Amino acid sequence: MIRKSILILIQVLLLTSGVMAQGVEMADTMRSNGKIYVVVAVLCLIFVGIVAYLISIDKKVGKLEKKINS
C-alpha cells in the first residue's frame, strides 16, 4: 500500500514538472501584456471569498454547538 502511494506520488510529481515547464512561456506572455495582474487579483478575490465563507460557517456551527450544549 505504501509502495503504491509512493509510486503514484512520484508519477504525479514528474507529470506536473513537465506541465510547469510548458507554462512558463504563457506566464511570460501574460506578464508582458499586464494580464497576469488580473489573474492574480481574481485568485485573491476567490481566496478571500472562500475564507469569509468558512469563517461565517464556523460562527454558525459555534452558535449551534452552544445551543445544543446548553
Residues 43 and 21 in one domain: no
| Residue 41 sits in the same domain as residue 60 | yes
36 in Cβ contact with 27 (< 8 Å): yes
Q: Are residues 10 and 24 in the same domain?
A: yes
Domain span holding position 67: 34-70
Q: How many domains does the chain contain in total?
A: 2
Please state, rounded to an integer, the average pLDDT across all residues of the chain.
Answer: 84
The cell numbers describing 47, all together, are: 481566496
Q: How is residue 65 annotated by DSSP? A: H
Instruction: Indicate the residue type of 27.
Output: A
Question: What pTM did the predictor assign?
Answer: 0.57
What mean pLDDT comes out for the span 8-28? 70
**Segment (H or E) for 19:** helix 2-33
Residue 18's pLDDT is what?
59
Task: pLDDT band for 23, please (50, 70, 90 cuts).
Answer: low
